Chain A
């Protein structure tokens, strides 16, 4: 089967005419493996693990679609998480993530393989790419899900997502259309390798060749600037030391940076700190910023508005340092210290650096 290369022609834009879909035509769970510079983003593997559970409950196959350039080695890792079949589109046409050529290709592949469930990461790219795919396929899509389940009776996907700044959760179903599509928040599902040695998966790979000649695109990527102002992707760090209104100024963030550095972590911030101009927007955590789930989240001088809490609630351990014993952050923290962060944090830095006990 793997000798066969499927060619997809993108000359004409895909336009589905209205037709009543036979829902039973759709079978299996399919996951989109987003790649960046040849590597599958972690959320892809998280979704393979989650997709495995869903596929087992339905008694169906789990497949994945990977698109990118030079991605095979990384994409093959997905088999370790319980994948049955990999559709691999490895081409210079996909060397950079672009909405239009990716959505046209993905939609064609989904139409060909007809999975009943299609999952993708709710990354910034995923959240603009996947709606285009849903619009082409004329099916439902739920955004930024944090929980997926199969309704045992009806065998449909229950898609649960936060709304209203995380104050409520909504469970959504897709009716009268397939596939049931959802983007899933990164770092929420657990990535878990399946037991047993995985070898010789080559016969479970199907190669997709795309013929994009004549594909007309109306926009062009002309530059990438990775020099975000002192930027880092805070999602990449296992420890985040975060500052809020209580930090009180941009120069004072350097103390938090020093602590973060000692712990091998990154600096985050609440909206209040970003709005005050003390630190740049890519550091912002919460409803209007990033959602994080590090192993350790240390909140310094953050009162814990619900909008902030929803962005950190899936952290493994939350440690809060705040002057105000009534601060809501303490309700969601595993460890709380009521105290002045300017006393506690510098003392902690000294303690870690010196390795000498204080008492």
Chain B
């Protein structure tokens, strides 16, 4: 029987957003920062595993992939510990410096090498770059629909699904036939914690690493060479303001606040 294959695209990111910039080199200081799975991707993994459970374990297969340096294998192991069947690391020096389009190109190569899939699930965006562009870009490259910000998979079977997605001021409900790609928001589920069995499975999992050669990609379509955008510089923002502290008794404070609101014409 042909299994329904679900691919989850995940990313390893610095475990904090409190990054500092080296004033000398203008680069991010990454030393001493623990890497974690992109928090939004945890919901993508959980949803893929839940779909597999909904469809009967035997009929679906969940594969996680990540593009990144060799240590990214850790997030793939994390994904196996919570129910992903197998994982593939996409790693090569040539992939470094990729923008979203070059990343999408590389991921599409990997998904094709896997043999394609019915459904691709991604997190809403990454914690570091915050673009959310890889999902729609890879869907476009594959010629498949992309539905972003999915908050619920209402129905799913082997051929299609019904999903609900959140927009700024409304929900939209779509019927989508496979193959398709979606990104999910944190409303969709509460990710499970790994079981002991899952942890052991993750520890023993053998995770293949695919590089440029394995993907049959050319150097000029991946990494920095394949990127149309380039980061010119990074710098720290200034968000400090001149603060006036309102002091006195509670009554005096409220009176002053009321005066300020009056001057602003809202009361």
Binding site for B on A (CB under 8 A): 13, 99-100, 103, 123-125, 127-129, 131-132, 134-136, 138-144, 158, 161-177, 217-226, 228, 231-233, 235-236, 238-239, 262-265, 281-282, 287-288, 290, 295-296, 306-307, 309-310, 313, 317-319, 330-339, 343-344, 347-348, 351-352, 357-359
Listed A/B pairs (5) with beta-carbon separation below 8 Å: A142-B131, A163-B128, A172-B231, A307-B17, A335-B260
Q: Are A131 and B236 in contact (CB under 8 A)?
A: no
Residue B193 interfacial (CB < 8 Å)? no
Residue B66 interfacial (CB < 8 Å)? no
**Docked complex Cα distance between A39 and B210 (Å):** 48
Q: Given A166-B237, A171-B231, A319-B257, does the pair A335, B243 have CB atoms closer than 8 Å?
A: yes
Closest CB-CB distance, B105 to chain A, in whole Å?
9
Q: Are B128 and A222 in contact (CB under 8 A)?
A: no
Residue B250 interfacial (CB < 8 Å)? yes
Query: With a CB–CB cut-off of 8 A, which chain A residues contact B171?
Result: 224-226, 228
Query: With a CB–CB cut-off of 8 A, which chain A residues contact B127?
Result: 164-165
Q: Which of A219, A225, A290 contacts B180 (CB 8 A)?
A: A219
Query: With a CB–CB cut-off of 8 A, which chain B residues contact A167?
Result: 17-19, 236-237
Q: Which of A132, A144, A238, A318 contacts B137 (CB 8 A)?
A: A132
**Docked complex Cα distance between A348 and B136 (Å):** 47
Q: Are A170 and B234 in contact (CB under 8 A)?
A: yes
Q: Which residues of chain B (97-147) have a CB below 8 Å from chain A?
A: 99-101, 104, 127-133, 135-141, 143-147
Binding site for A on B (CB under 8 A): 14, 17-19, 21, 28, 40, 99-101, 104, 127-133, 135-141, 143-149, 162, 164, 166-177, 180, 183, 185-187, 227-237, 239-247, 249-255, 257-258, 260-261, 264, 266-267
Q: Given A169-B237, A343-B250, does the pair A306, B243 have CB atoms closer than 8 Å?
A: no
Closest CB-CB distance, A4 to chain B, in whole Å?
30
**Docked complex Cα distance between A163 and B28 (Å):** 11
Query: With a CB–CB cut-off of 8 A, which chain B residues contact A263?
Result: 261, 266-267
Interface centre among A129, A131, A170, A226, by most chain B C-beta atoms within 10 angstroms, is: A131
Q: Are A359 and B169 in contact (CB under 8 A)?
A: no
Closest CB-CB distance, B202 to chain A, in whole Å?
26
Q: Are B254 and A162 in contact (CB under 8 A)?
A: no
**Docked complex Cα distance between A336 and B247 (Å):** 9
CB nearest neighbor in A for B134:
A131
Q: Are A347 and B136 in contact (CB under 8 A)?
A: no
**Docked complex Cα distance between A124 and B101 (Å):** 19
Closest CB-CB distance, A34 to chain B, in whole Å?
11
Q: Given A163-B129, A306-B18, A336-B245, does the pair A175, B230 have CB atoms closer than 8 Å?
A: yes
**Docked complex Cα distance between A44 and B37 (Å):** 35
Q: Are B17 and A287 in contact (CB under 8 A)?
A: yes
Q: Given A306-B18, A319-B257, A352-B267, does the pair A132, B101 have CB atoms closer than 8 Å?
A: no
**Docked complex Cα distance between A158 and B233 (Å):** 10
**Docked complex Cα distance between A239 and B266 (Å):** 8
**Docked complex Cα distance between A218 and B176 (Å):** 6
**Docked complex Cα distance between A343 and B254 (Å):** 10
Q: Are B19 and A128 in contact (CB under 8 A)?
A: no
Q: Given A135-B141, A164-B17, A169-B234, does the pair A296, B229 have CB atoms closer than 8 Å?
A: no
Q: Are B261 and A296 in contact (CB under 8 A)?
A: yes
Query: With a CB–CB cut-off of 8 A, which chain A residues contact B177?
Result: 218-219
Q: Given A100-B145, A175-B228, does the pair A339, B253 have CB atoms closer than 8 Å?
A: yes
